[in-house]
Amino acid sequence: MKKLKEGFLWGNSVSSMQTEGAWNEGGKGMSVYDIREATENSSDWKVATDSYHRYHEDFDYMQQLGMNCYRFQISWSRVNPKGDGEFNEEGIAFYDKFIDDLIARGIEPMICLYHFDMPLHLAETYNGFIDRRVVDAFVTYGKEMMKRFAHKVKYWITFNEQNIFSYSEGFRISGYLKGERTIEELYVISHHAMMAHTYLANHLHDVYPNCQIGGMLAYQEIYPATSLPEDVYMARKLDEFLNHNLLEAFNNGKYSPEIVAYMKNNGLDKMILEGDLEEIAKMKSDWIAFSYYASTTVNSQNVGMDSPVNFYMNEGKQDNPYLDATEWNWQIDPLGFRNILTKLYNRYQIPIFPIENGIGVIEEWDGVNEIQDDYRIKYHHDHFQAMKDAIFLDGVDVVGYLGWGLIDILSSQGDMRKRYGVVYVNRENHDLKDMRRIPKKSFWWMKKVIESNGEEMEMDIPVTI
């Protein structure tokens, strides 16, 4: 078995609202998540996994695993309660200590500036990123965080999964509270997010040349459902609109020609202001970051003739009969992971950085015995092997691998039943219990993988599981 390169980053990724809690402590302002109520199968966001008070425990487990990188999110409303008002020094001091405590454990911090938790004031006043004034507020916030932390934080991203602004889910994550959710509005939001990223990426490179930044996508490999040419065409078009349009801007300083033509032909380019494209043209990325969990297929026969490309998957998504799926019907496809790594490196020829990956499963702890999560070991083993194949067989330069929520956190929908961790957090959706952290079987397997830098990956489970 081969080791990965020296300095390979092994780590964990999270968001603030899924971990921190302390929603009304330390001078924090309200975000759009703070007004979301619990449901039968979801929690509210007020406590999460209480990492605001307990992060030292989590850092100790990451250090024990051998991790050397942690991607976390600064809560915009914790450091600037209104989003466009005065900065909150108590909130900034929290992250300053947080970062120092990572570094003291030999864990490289990586900052994400936005993971969907728009300050409530900006959502209610401006309807989120549909308003250019929110772009200005975000840039002000981002520059201040760089000023405070760039001397000790090398790795940065602006937006988690920025391409989600390009499809229907973009309304939910952008602070958009009211409106008709038109395709025109979606293109405004997507372009505004790109301008916010552009200004901050260019600023970081100009002012803090020792730091690195890249754009990040949620990359779901979409296959044609059949060999019907229309299915193949639609899968390719989705890849261009949802992935490569942003990647072209991140890496080559311009939107994809196909999307530019689509925007012009459909009157979707009116929000591009004088100077925007020139600013994008200055942009570069130090690596391409992405999340990957699953693949799916698209069936063109189920998509209406007048449906915008960005909404194809609302109608055309179809399960792949050749793949197994999780309880949440996320289809497990390690080869899709390798394919993304290789095709991105072939096309853009800059390092690739997968910063989210994992399997969400309903799990319960009996209070005594170790959770035997062989399925998680199998999932990570196969995805690590796919990554190593991309590196050693396909020649891909991979910066590191960051798993998602490797210490259990609330899911993106607030559901504590969906667990990604190699460490169990003892709480449920409506019963906070004692929040105790308990390593699962996969913890010890992943510790062996990381300590050997990817060389030792043997599983003590049947490979057919």
User: Residue 228 domain-assigned?
Assistant: no
Domain tally, the chain: 1
- Output the six-digit token pair for 81: 């309660």
Catalytic status, residue 161: yes
pLDDT mean across residues, the chain: 97
pLDDT at residue 409 tops 70:
yes
Residue 463's pLDDT band (cuts 50, 70, 90): very low
Tell the residue number behind the tokens 């196909």, with chain if given: 258
Contacts of residue 157, Cβ cutoff 8 Å, sequence gap at least 6:
71, 110, 111, 112, 113, 213, 214, 215, 216, 289, 355
Cα(224)–Cα(299) distance, integer angstroms: 7
Please state, in angstroms and as integers, the Cα–Cα distance from residue 91 to each residue in 225, 231, 435, following that order.
48, 49, 23
Residue 259 lies in a domain: no
Question: Quick check: 45 pLDDT over 70?
Answer: yes
Could you report the per-residue pLDDT of 144-199, keeping only the tens digit for each?
999 999 999 999 999 999 999 999 999 999 999 999 999 999 999 999 999 999 99
Q: Is 451 designated active site?
A: no
- Which tokens in the block code for residue 366? 């009996």
Residue 205 scores a pLDDT above 80: yes
| Model confidence band, residue 460 (pLDDT cutoffs 50, 70, 90) | confident
CB atoms within 10 A of CB 261: 11
Q: Give the bridge partners for 112, in sequence order.
A: 73, 157
- Is residue 165 assigned to a domain? yes
Q: Provide the residue range defining the domain that includes 435.
A: 9-219+322-451
Average confidence (pLDDT) over 43-56 = 98
Q: What is the pLDDT of residues 338-349, one digit of tens each?
A: 999 999 999 999
180 found inside a domain: yes
pLDDT at site 54:
98
Residue for token pair 């759009």: 32
pTM tops 0.75: yes
Residue 345 neighbours by CB under 8 Å, 6+ apart: 351, 352, 390, 394, 395, 396, 397
For 423, list phi and psi in degrees, rounded to 5: -125, 125
Which of 20, 108, 356, 363 is labelled catalytic? 356
CA of residue 73 relative to chain centroid, distance = 10
Q: Which of 11, 19, 349 is nearest to 155 (CA)?
A: 11
| Domain presence at residue 258 | no
The backbone torsions φ and ψ at residue 125, rounded to the nearest 5 degrees and listed phi first, read -85, -40
The alpha carbons of the chain give a radius of gyration, in whole angstroms, of: 21
Q: What is the C-alpha separation between 255 and 244, in angstroms, rounded?
A: 9
pLDDT at residue 464 is higher than 80: no
Mean pLDDT for 259-276 is: 97
Choosing from 20, 108, 161, 363, the catalytic residue is 161
The CATH number of whichever domain residue 95 belongs to comes to 3.20.20.80
Q: Which two tokens stand for residue 28?
A: 């924090």
Report which DSSP code applies to 297.
E
Closest-CA residue to 422 (of 457, 461, 460, 377)? 377
The pLDDT of 210-232, averaged and rounded, is 98
Query: Is 412 within the bounds of a domain?
Result: yes
CA distance linking residue 157 with residue 73, whole number of Å? 9
Q: What percent of the chain has pLDDT over 70?
A: 99
Residue 462's pLDDT is 54
Considering the domain boundaries, does residue 250 fall inside one? no
For residue 275, is it within any domain?
Answer: no
How do residues 425-456 score in pLDDT, each as one tens digit?
999 999 999 999 999 999 999 999 999 999 99
pLDDT one-digit tens code per residue, 62-101: 999 999 999 999 999 999 999 999 999 999 999 999 999 9
Q: SS3 for 76?
A: helix
User: Who contacts 40 (Cβ-Cβ below 8 Å, separation ≥6)?
Assistant: none
- pLDDT > 90: percent of the chain: 98
What burial letters (b/e) apply to 369-386, b meaning 16+ CB within 10 Å? eebebebbbbbbbbbbbb
